[in-house]
Amino acid sequence: MPNEIITETSKKAKLATLLFWFFLGGVSAHRFYTGKIGTAFLQMFTFGGLGIWLLVDGIMIVTNNFKDKEGKKITVW
């Protein structure tokens, strides 16, 4: 089909990402896990964007919109 959208999913586990976010979100462990090293350091040094950036990441993970460094959605538990 010409209008078919093919989306690839990441090999990273959603459960691991969510647990890293919940328990170690303050040190951006979920971003290090998904390969987003640059933004992990930035988030860590801004205290999770004063908590807002950290909260947005949590919502993105739960709603299957969080992506790894290659742009693939993390959806597999």
Determine the pLDDT at residue 39: 95
Residue 55: which domain range?
A: 14-62
- Give a yes or no: residue 69 inside a domain: no
Number of helices (H), then strands (E), belonging to the chain: the values are 5, 0
- Give a yes or no: residue 3 inside a domain: no
- Give a yes or no: residue 71 inside a domain: no
Determine the pLDDT at residue 49: 86
Determine the pLDDT at residue 1: 52
What is the pTM assigned to this prediction? 0.86
pLDDT tens series, the chain, 77 aa: 556 565 789 999 999 999 999 999 999 999 999 999 999 999 999 988 899 999 999 999 999 999 999 999 999 99
